[in-house]
């Protein structure tokens, strides 16, 4: 709702005194008197924990900073006036994103805003003025002088409209500044009093009605200095320059809170034009039946304000299936309402910059917090989804334009009812976990510019009962939404010192690796073949079976595996076979490897050596590996007289003959204790040659060799005298 951010003038306080005169000797109500004793200090225990206490902005507070174990403020990570970033003891960064600026620029220096009032003495009067803010509010101890707000060229003054009956000025004794210098209490009569306090974009007012006083109308006069006051279709009062469409300020929707928060009520101002673009009369009426209702528990607190409009880092709007929408309202609705139909809320975060975060895996948590305004006791579940419909804006979003039923199926939910909120200090604030959505924004699976959708359950939306919840929008003078994002300040990695190693069976060695930064995260291992290799948690590997295998190391950090590296291990046999010509027989079937004219390899009955060379193989021992040549097949078509070798493909899912220029032709042949041989691949991980049951086609499967192995993986290499195959081979291999 950035379009209409508010210029927070405490309207009600001007309104309060339109019909009351306070006697000088009147005492403060007990609740206000207590405010005067509040000490504006940080407990020593917190100061001890927070060595950077002077750099903690007021909007976050020292108690939160201590509870979250923040160690320093990261101003270099703050990319707008709406952001605050801290780092905690574990190296996690926390970003707070607000819908309004919480910092301002003065003489080229960025400063944190505070809500403190400074005191000045002028002309026999005490003036109260914003101490640390570029939105400056000024008022005196005589509220009849009015409340003045200045921001750049915007100048607004709000004054109470004196009644005929009570036209005397309020006296200085009726103003009571709080000890924390953040509010001033005014007393008009014992039944009615109030407070004026600052907001980050203006100021707010609270009208306190202690009992059924009989008055339900309050009037004030607003001087706009060239701004036009107008009202949109939903009753929101806005201020804009003459001839301009964009609002520069707005009057916040008044809300009445009962003492027990169980019968709160939204109200609407009416206004009259005295001088266009200069002077207007504002009127607030509390319904008489509401004031007399037994469920209206006193004292009542009526809150409102006027605030400067700013480009917000959070935007929100309610869309209604049977009515229009308003991006300027101070309230958001979810559920089903009479005359409006189904109500859903869209919210997005244009001020959120995820570019500095390297990966979605570094986002630890994300949550958005919204405040229930009316706090009805009847519970209703509110779901929060990633929105996947059309791109939208506050000024133009509508049910028909955004594709309202386009949202992610997964969601987080909260049951909203009186007293069921969970945020510290305010039981009516509700935090929704949007971690998976924020990660999706970073990875690209969701669109950050489309934001999130709040909706009621399908049973509520399709039911015949009207029930809804009302939340404060980013245009509310208080209780605005806030986004909290936690992300890792580091991108940990783990790497092997060597990614390719060769070792001999029955030997051990340490797999060295480096974690950067040192000492971060937890290490896990993945072994491609626990029979062939044994691996300790410290990274010592022992080779048992010849072949090619892999070991992966994974770094677990902040709930995710954030880095993986792989080491390929080639295990050589202690005893292999010498170069020579062999027939290769499977012990399980008794059949022999046979080269076929179509370059396939089968298992067949033994053929006489003198018949042809299809079952004769020349095994060339190259040291770490062997190459197996067919002595009966040439690749005459594509490579002339090139020799054909026994090989496989990259995935190791088949065996074949290919010319000697091809890849994946290297094998490890291991001689067992009983003379049997095991044939493993040298280049493809975890693959060995075996018979495939009763099939005539040999296959490659996972290497498994132990005392329980089967004859399917055992082979006999039967040497053949050189003179016996001379007729079948062209002679490029020496006899």
Kindly give the pairing relationship between strand 175-177 and strand 341-348: unpaired
pLDDT at 318 exceeding the cut of 70: yes
Sorted by sequence, the CB contacts under 8 Å of residue 292 that are 6+ apart come out as 212
Please give the average per-residue pLDDT across 485-489, as a whole number.
89
pLDDT tens per residue, range 429-481: 899 999 999 999 999 999 999 999 999 999 999 999 999 999 998 887 778 89
pLDDT at 143 exceeding the cut of 60: yes
The pLDDT score that the predictor gives to residue 565 is 95
Sorted by sequence, the CB contacts under 8 Å of residue 207 that are 6+ apart come out as 12, 13, 15, 16, 192, 194, 218, 300, 301, 302, 303
Sorted by sequence, the CB contacts under 8 Å of residue 590 that are 6+ apart come out as none
Instruction: Choose the most confident range, by mean pLDDT, from 13-17, 508-512, 601-605.
Output: 508-512
The pLDDT score that the predictor gives to residue 208 is 87
pLDDT at 421 exceeding the cut of 90: no
Strand partners, 122: 125
Burial (CB count within 10 angstroms: exposed 0-12, middle 13-18, buried 19+), residue 98: buried
648-665 burial code (b ≥16 CB/10 A, e <16)? beeebeebbbbbeebebb
The pLDDT score that the predictor gives to residue 377 is 73
**Distance, CA of 580 to CA of 286 (rounded, Å):** 105
Sorted by sequence, the CB contacts under 8 Å of residue 493 that are 6+ apart come out as 515, 516, 555, 562, 563
User: Which of 92-106, 161-175, 257-271, 415-429 has the least mean pLDDT?
Assistant: 161-175
The pLDDT score that the predictor gives to residue 722 is 59
Strand partners, 614: none
Q: What are phi and psi of 688, to 5 degrees?
A: -140, 155
The pLDDT score that the predictor gives to residue 707 is 42
Q: Tokens 């000697």 identify what position?
A: 660
Percent of all residues in the chain with a pLDDT value above 90, rounded to a whole number:
48
* pLDDT-derived band at 47, boundaries 50, 70, 90: very low
pLDDT at 276 exceeding the cut of 60: yes
pLDDT at 189 exceeding the cut of 90: no
Kindly give the pairing relationship between strand 265-266 and strand 175-177: unpaired
**Distance, CA of 585 to CA of 714 (rounded, Å):** 9
Please give the average per-residue pLDDT across 647-663, as a whole number.
80
Please give the average per-residue pLDDT across 333-353, as a whole number.
95
Q: Which domains does the chain have, with CATH numbers?
A: 2-41+115-308 (no CATH), 314-488 (no CATH), 493-572 (2.60.40.1080), 580-728 (2.80.10.50)
Contact indicator for 93, 74 with CB cutoff of 8 Å = yes
* pLDDT-derived band at 720, boundaries 50, 70, 90: confident
pLDDT at 509 exceeding the cut of 90: yes
The pLDDT score that the predictor gives to residue 420 is 52
Q: Tokens 């869309």 identify what position?
A: 319
User: Which of 180-194, 463-477, 660-674 has the least mean pLDDT?
Assistant: 180-194
Average pLDDT, the chain: 83
pLDDT at 425 exceeding the cut of 60: no
pLDDT at 50 exceeding the cut of 80: no
The pLDDT score that the predictor gives to residue 198 is 92
**Distance, CA of 284 to CA of 610 (rounded, Å):** 113
CB atoms within 10 A of CB 335: 24
pLDDT tens per residue, range 359-373: 898 899 999 999 998
Q: Which two tokens stand for residue 317?
A: 């709007």
Contact indicator for 681, 727 with CB cutoff of 8 Å = no
The pLDDT score that the predictor gives to residue 541 is 97
* pLDDT-derived band at 689, boundaries 50, 70, 90: very high
User: Which of 97-101, 170-174, 573-577 has the least mean pLDDT?
Assistant: 170-174
Sorted by sequence, the CB contacts under 8 Å of residue 396 that are 6+ apart come out as none
The pLDDT score that the predictor gives to residue 586 is 93
* pLDDT-derived band at 205, boundaries 50, 70, 90: confident
Whole-angstrom CA distances from 708 to 446, 635, 676, 693, 701 are: 52, 40, 14, 17, 16
User: Which of 89-103, 231-245, 341-355 has the least mean pLDDT?
Assistant: 231-245
Please give the average per-residue pLDDT across 91-101, as a whole number.
92
Q: The pTM is what? A: 0.68
Contact indicator for 413, 381 with CB cutoff of 8 Å = yes
**Distance, CA of 317 to CA of 234 (rounded, Å):** 12
Instruction: Choose the most confident range, by mean pLDDT, from 162-171, 430-439, 480-489, 714-723.
Output: 430-439
3-state DSSP assignment of residue 312: coil
The pLDDT score that the predictor gives to residue 723 is 56
CB atoms within 10 A of CB 412: 18
**Distance, CA of 104 to CA of 351 (rounded, Å):** 16
Please give the average per-residue pLDDT across 175-198, as a whole number.
82
Length of the chain: 735
Sorted by sequence, the CB contacts under 8 Å of residue 227 that are 6+ apart come out as 154, 156, 239, 240, 241, 242, 248, 249, 277
Higher local confidence (pLDDT), 551 or 611: 551
């Amino acid at each position: 709702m950035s379009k209409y951010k508010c210029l927070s003038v405490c309207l009600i306080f001007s309104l309060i005194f339109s019909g009351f005169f306070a006697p000088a000797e009147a005492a403060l109500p007990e609740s206000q008197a207590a405010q005067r004793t509040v000490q504006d200090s940080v407990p020593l225990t917190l100061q001890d924990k927070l060595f950077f206490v002077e750099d903690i902005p007021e909007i976050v507070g020292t108690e939160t900073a201590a509870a979250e174990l923040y160690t320093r403020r990261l101003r270099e990570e703050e990319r707008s006036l709406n952001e605050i970033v801290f780092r905690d003891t574990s190296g996690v960064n926390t970003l707070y994103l607000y819908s309004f600026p919480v910092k301002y620029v003065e003489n080229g220096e960025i400063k944190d805003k505070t809500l403190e009032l400074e005191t000045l003495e002028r002309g026999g009067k005490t003036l109260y003025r914003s101490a640390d803010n570029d939105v400056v509010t000024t008022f005196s101890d005589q509220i009849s002088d009015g409340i003045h707000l200045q921001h750049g060229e915007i100048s607004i003054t709000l004054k109470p409209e004196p009644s005929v009956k009570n036209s005397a000025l309020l006296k200085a004794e009726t103003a009571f500044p709080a000890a924390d210098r953040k509010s001033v209490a005014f007393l008009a009569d014992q039944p009615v009093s109030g407070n004026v306090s600052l907001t980050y974009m203006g100021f707010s007012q609270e009208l306190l009605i202690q009992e059924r006083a009989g008055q339900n109308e309050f009037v004030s006069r607003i001087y706009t200095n060239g701004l036009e006051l107008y009202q949109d279709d939903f009753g929101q009062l806005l201020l804009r320059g003459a001839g301009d469409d964009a609002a520069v300020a707005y009057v916040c929707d008044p809300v009445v809170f009962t003492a027990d928060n169980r019968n709160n009520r939204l109200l609407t101002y009416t206004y009259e034009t005295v001088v266009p673009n200069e002077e207007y009369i504002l009127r607030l009426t509390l319904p008489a039946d509401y004031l007399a209702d037994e469920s209206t528990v006193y004292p009542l607190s009526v809150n409102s304000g006027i605030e400067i409009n700013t480009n917000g880092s959070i935007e929100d709007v309610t869309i209604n299936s049977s009515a229009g929408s308003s991006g300027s309202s101070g309230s958001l609705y979810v559920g089903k309402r009479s005359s409006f139909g189904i109500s859903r809320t869209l919210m997005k975060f244009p001020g959120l910059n995820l570019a500095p975060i390297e990966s979605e895996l570094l986002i630890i948590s994300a949550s958005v917090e919204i405040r229930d305004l009316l706090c009805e006791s009847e519970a209703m579940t509110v779901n929060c989804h990633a929105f996947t419909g059309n791109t939208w804006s506050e000024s133009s979003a509508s049910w028909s334009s955004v594709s309202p039923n386009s949202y992610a199926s997964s969601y987080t939910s909260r049951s909203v009812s009186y007293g069921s909120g969970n945020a510290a200090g305010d039981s009516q604030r509700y935090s929704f976990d949007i971690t998976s959505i924020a990660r999706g924004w970073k990875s690209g699976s969701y669109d950050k510019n489309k934001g999130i959708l709040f909706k009621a359950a399908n049973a509520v939306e399709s039911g015949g009962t009207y029930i809804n919840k009302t939340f404060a929008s980013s245009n509310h003078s208080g209780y605005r939404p806030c986004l909290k994002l936690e992300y890792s300040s580091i991108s940990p990695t783990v790497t092997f010192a060597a990614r390719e190693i060769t070792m001999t069976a029955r030997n051990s060695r340490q797999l060295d690796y480096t974690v950067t930064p040192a000492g971060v995260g937890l290490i896990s291992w993945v072994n491609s073949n626990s029979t062939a290799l044994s691996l300790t948690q410290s990274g010592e590997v022992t080779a048992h079976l010849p072949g090619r295998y892999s070991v992966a190391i994974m770094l677990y950090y902040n709930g995710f595996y954030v880095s993986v590296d792989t080491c390929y291990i080639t295990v050589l046999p202690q005893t292999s076979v010498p170069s020579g010509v062999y027939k290769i027989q499977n012990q399980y079937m008794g059949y022999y490897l046979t080269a076929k004219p179509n370059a396939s390899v089968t298992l067949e009955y033994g053929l006489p050596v003198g018949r042809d060379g299809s079952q004769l193989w020349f095994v060339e021992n190259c040291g770490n590996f062997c190459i197996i040549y067919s002595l009966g097949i040439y690749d005459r078509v594509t490579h002339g007289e090139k020799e054909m070798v026994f090989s496989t493909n990259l995935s190791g899912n088949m065996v074949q003959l290919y010319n000697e220029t091809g890849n994946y032709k290297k094998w490890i042949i291991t001689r067992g204790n009983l003379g049997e041989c095991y044939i493993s691949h040298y280049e493809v991980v975890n693959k060995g040659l075996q018979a495939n049951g009763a099939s005539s086609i040999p296959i490659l499967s996972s290497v498994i060799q132990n005392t329980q192995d089967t004859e399917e993986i055992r082979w006999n290499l039967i040497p053949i005298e050189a003179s016996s195959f001379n007729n079948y081979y062209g002679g490029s291999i020496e006899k």
